[in-house]
Amino acid sequence: MTEVVIAGIGMTPVGEHWDLSLRTLAARAILSAEKDAGGLKPQALYIGNFLGSMVSHQANLGALITDNSGLGGIESFTIEAAEASGAAALHMAYLAVSSGFVDTAMALGVEKVTDMTDGVEKILATGLDFDYEGFEGVTPAAQAALLMQRYIYQYGVGHAAFNWLPLLAHTNAVHNPNAMYRKALKPEVLQSAPPVVDPLTLYDIAPYADGAAAVILTRSGLLPKKPVQKPVRLLGSSVITDALALYDRPDPLRFEAARRSVEQACRQAGILPGDVDLFEVDDFTSIYAVLALEAAGFALPGEGTQLSERGHVPLLTMGGSKARGCPVGASGLYQVCEAVTQLRGQAGALQVPGARLAMTQSLGGPASTAVTHILKV
């Protein structure tokens, strides 16, 4: 079977882009990815977006964004899987190219959160079970807090055991030009931070921000003889769902969809999770990163926080959602673009030496949807 390759990537800086609209953010990432791919244009565009219809009062993004980005007339529509929307859009692009339905496809993740100055938390809560969670006043941060509280109780760890994750994220983001926070944190600041949604502190929750990231896929046989960039192969792409509501899971501390998604993507790629040179894990909250690391098999249940002492595969190499910033439905494609940057050897001060194999995982809600990709040079 012909391999699917990533021929180009594009990202906007993550931040509060008061002056940029949803469509302009999208166009910047699209044009930048096309340029990176040596002018290659997609025959289909799959758009990962969660909030557009509620925050920007804008649906039908396929028509809007293709028209505004010089791609008018091609196949295009929105894929929504809450915070995992962008990664799910990449899965669609992968299916379209690997099936031979198109020769080139683009996955775009775009999110515009600053069109509203308040009320965004309520809109983000639409990613929960509204009738039975949102209705009770629960938000995405509250769900993470419920899990972290239980984790601390069940496994007898302190809150401080989670601090290495935001610390690592902020340390790496210093050298990421697209990151929202480029200042390292002092461990003391983390230790004295008050809980905002008990037991989560400000440093356990990724900051919502605007951003767009795009990836162009094609098949290896279609690449020019001398491609502009070193092609990165997409060897595995898996989307798995779990019960939407936390209370509906036999053990809420097991991210079952995350586990199965890693398993499926690795099987497609013919690798084991332990083979990867870096893992862009989802750190929307510190507890989710720990549960995802356990689900992927890097630690036993209840031992994920110990990875800082035991040593671990390089994680959050460009700052993760915590410090790069969390452009909600676009974050999954930032992860992929960052992994591609690593595999091409273009990560500068953040370069993981000899990186050849990478895994990315994006979660919608508390792993209600889990999307895993395996990339290789």
Partner 1 sequence: MEIPRHWRLKKQRYALVGEVCPHCEAKIFPPRDVCPHCSGEAKTPYQFSGQGEVYSYTVMNDAPAGFEENTPYTVAVVKLAEGPMVTAQLTDLGAEPVKIGMPVEMVTRRIRSDGNDRGMIVYGYKFRPVMQ
> Which residues are at the interface with partner 1 (CB under 8 A)?
118-119, 121-122, 125, 131-133, 135-139, 142, 145-147, 149-150, 153, 196-200, 243, 245-248, 252
End-to-end CA distance of the chain: 17
Min dist CB 172 to partner 1, Å, is 28
- Buried/exposed code over 57-88 (b: 16+ C-beta within 10 A; e: otherwise): ebeebbebbbebbebeeebbebbbbbbbbbbb
Per the CB < 8 A criterion, the answer to whether 84 and 370 are in contact is: yes
Min dist CB 118 to partner 1, Å, is 8
Min dist CB 361 to partner 1, Å, is 24
State which residue, 73 or 137, has the beta carbon closest to partner 1: 137
Min dist CB 148 to partner 1, Å, is 8
Min dist CB 42 to partner 1, Å, is 37
State which residue, 197 or 234, has the beta carbon closest to partner 1: 197
State which residue, 67 or 251, has the beta carbon closest to partner 1: 251
Q: What is the DSSP string of 207-219?
A: PB-BEEEEEEEEE
Min dist CB 181 to partner 1, Å, is 20
Distance of CA 260 to the CA centre of its chain: 17
CA distance linking residue 283 with residue 194, whole number of Å: 19
State which residue, 139 or 308, has the beta carbon closest to partner 1: 139
Cα separations (Å) of 207 from 74, 132, 204?
A: 34, 26, 10
State which residue, 77 or 155, has the beta carbon closest to partner 1: 155
Residue whose tokens read 């890097």? 298
Residue whose tokens read 């994680």? 315
Residue whose tokens read 């995405």? 140
State which residue, 232 or 240, has the beta carbon closest to partner 1: 240
Q: Are strands 104-111 and 211-219 parallel, antiparallel or unpaired?
A: antiparallel
Min dist CB 150 to partner 1, Å, is 4
State which residue, 42 or 366, has the beta carbon closest to partner 1: 366
